[in-house]
Amino acid sequence: MSLQWLQQPAKPVDISSRDAAAARQDDLTKPRGALGGLEALAIQLAGLQARPCPAIDRVHITVFAADHGIASAGVSAYPQVVTGEMVRNFASGGAAISVLARQLAATLDVVNLGTVNDPGEIAGVRRAIIAPSTANFLDQAAMSDDQLVRALDEGAQAVRRAQSAGSELFIGGEMGIGNTTAATALACVLLEAGPPEITGAGTGLDEEGVRHKAEIIARAVAFHRGFVADPLEALRRLGGFEIAALVGSYVSAAQHGIVVLVDGFISSVAALAAVAINPGCREWMLFAHRSAERGHQRVLDALAANPLLDLGMRLGEGSGAALAVPIVRLACALARDMATFSQAGVSNRD
């Protein structure tokens, strides 16, 4: 396995479909621009799907789960055993993303990349164990080269499953106690930001907990400084298996022409890394929501992303992205089914 595939270009946007969709928006029975962001969404999707009237029927959600060595530094409000326990909960249908996937009639695919509390073989969970957890990146790289390659490849494999099922939209979710610490450390390096600016409460740390978490991140960033100019190396040193799998899935989805709906803070940091590695994949990303996690806005700004929802959510699992699916579907339905001025006999301006 090599990493050369990461550099393959993203599928190009179809400009003529995008232009046709933009012209159609101006011809529909509404004041020009009155559907705001829904118009921009339908136009972007038309270019990506190479048809003037885009549609999102089948949605594929993959939740990548993995544990983090950095969890032993006391950076989460919850114990590490939760990661493995939640894998079981995803499969048995009781997690937030399980409920949302059912409501959307979306495929829910769960990939266990390595949990300290190993739930073992479970129906409906792909077992792709890389290691029980990453290494503690306070004084060593989180992953070996080989582990990074395998995690990225698991992301690409999830996209292949989505494509074989005929899905038009890919949502990547994550589960891993401690992963807001890994994502924040990675964001600090990619954005050249200071840890206090972007470190947040994750699952619910108090003020003192957030201060401690920011100090841990600052120590880790200082240890790895000098080796993280390359985004892939930053990902290897400070990321996690599930974060790397998200990166691999985002790059692969753009290469295979599958639209991605990015979830919250952790997913957005993975998106930031994916764009740093292969800038062409930015075009294939839609951003679902603004997470309550402190650093999210900084990451969204760096990606020039304007998310669809702002509900104060801070869960992960792909839940915010799932929430935004009906909006994406409705934007497509409006573009397709609204009458034009001439069809409806409504007078246009001028």
Ligand X SMILES: Cc1cc2ncn([C@H]3O[C@H](COP(=O)(O)O)[C@@H](O)[C@H]3O)c2cc1C
Q: Which is nearer to ligand NIO, 267 or 278 (CB)?
A: 267
Residue 16: which residues within 8 A CB-CB, separation 6 or more? none
Tokens of 179: 């992963």
Tell me which of 266, 277, 286, 331 binds ligand NIO, using CB under 6 A.
266
Partner that binds at residue 290, options ligand X, ligand NIO, none, CB closer than 5 to 8 Å by kind: none
Interactions with ligand X, residue window 181-200 (CB under 6 A)? 181
Under the binding rule (CB under 6 A), the answer on residue 297 touching ligand NIO is: no
Under the binding rule (CB under 6 A), the answer on residue 184 touching ligand NIO is: no
Under the binding rule (CB under 6 A), the answer on residue 154 touching ligand X is: no
Interactions with ligand NIO, residue window 271-290 (CB under 6 A)? none
CB of 173 to ligand NIO, least distance (A): 9
Question: Quick one: which segment of 127-135, 147-155, 264-272, 337-345 binds ligand NIO (CB under 6 A)?
Answer: 264-272
Tokens of 39: 């118009």
Q: Which is nearer to ligand NIO, 65 or 141 (CB)?
A: 65
- Contact in structure between 280 and 258 (CB atoms under 8 Å): no
CB-nearest residue to ligand NIO? 264
Calpha distance 326→122 (Å, rounded): 30
How would you classify the pairing of strands 59-65 and 169-175?
Answer: parallel
Under the binding rule (CB under 6 A), the answer on residue 180 touching ligand NIO is: yes
CB of 275 to ligand X, least distance (A): 21
Under the binding rule (CB under 6 A), the answer on residue 68 touching ligand NIO is: no
Under the binding rule (CB under 6 A), the answer on residue 255 touching ligand X is: no
Q: Note if 317 is an active site residue.
A: yes
Under the binding rule (CB under 6 A), the answer on residue 177 touching ligand NIO is: no
Given 39, 154, 293, 317, the catalytic residue: 317
Region for 164 from its dihedrals, namely left if φ exceeds 0, alpha if ψ lies in -120 to 50, beta otherwise: alpha
Q: Which residue has the tokens 């939740």?
A: 63
Under the binding rule (CB under 6 A), the answer on residue 318 touching ligand X is: no
Partner that binds at residue 291, options ligand NIO, ligand X, none, CB closer than 5 to 8 Å by kind: ligand NIO
Q: Cα-flanking dihedrals φ and ψ of residue 62, to 5°?
A: -115, 125
CB of 242 to ligand NIO, least distance (A): 11
CB of 264 to ligand NIO, least distance (A): 2
Partner that binds at residue 264, options ligand X, ligand NIO, none, CB closer than 5 to 8 Å by kind: ligand NIO
Region for 50 from its dihedrals, namely left if φ exceeds 0, alpha if ψ lies in -120 to 50, beta otherwise: left
- Contact in structure between 177 and 74 (CB atoms under 8 Å): no
- Contact in structure between 257 and 11 (CB atoms under 8 Å): yes
Under the binding rule (CB under 6 A), the answer on residue 136 touching ligand X is: no
Q: Which residue has the tokens 């969404």?
A: 41
Under the binding rule (CB under 6 A), the answer on residue 76 touching ligand X is: yes
Tokens of 193: 């930001």
Q: How many residues does the chain have?
A: 350
Angle between helices 81-92 and 96-104 (to 10 degrees): 30
Residue 191: which residues within 8 A CB-CB, separation 6 or more? 198, 272, 298, 299, 302
CB neighbourhood size of 304 (10 A): 8
Tell me which of 316, 324, 325, 332 binds ligand X, using CB under 6 A.
316
How would you classify the pairing of strands 59-65 and 285-287?
Answer: unpaired
Tell me which of 116, 241, 314, 323 binds ligand NIO, using CB under 6 A.
314
Residues that bind ligand NIO (CB under 6 A): 180, 202-203, 263-267, 291, 293, 314-316
* Residues belonging to the active site: 317
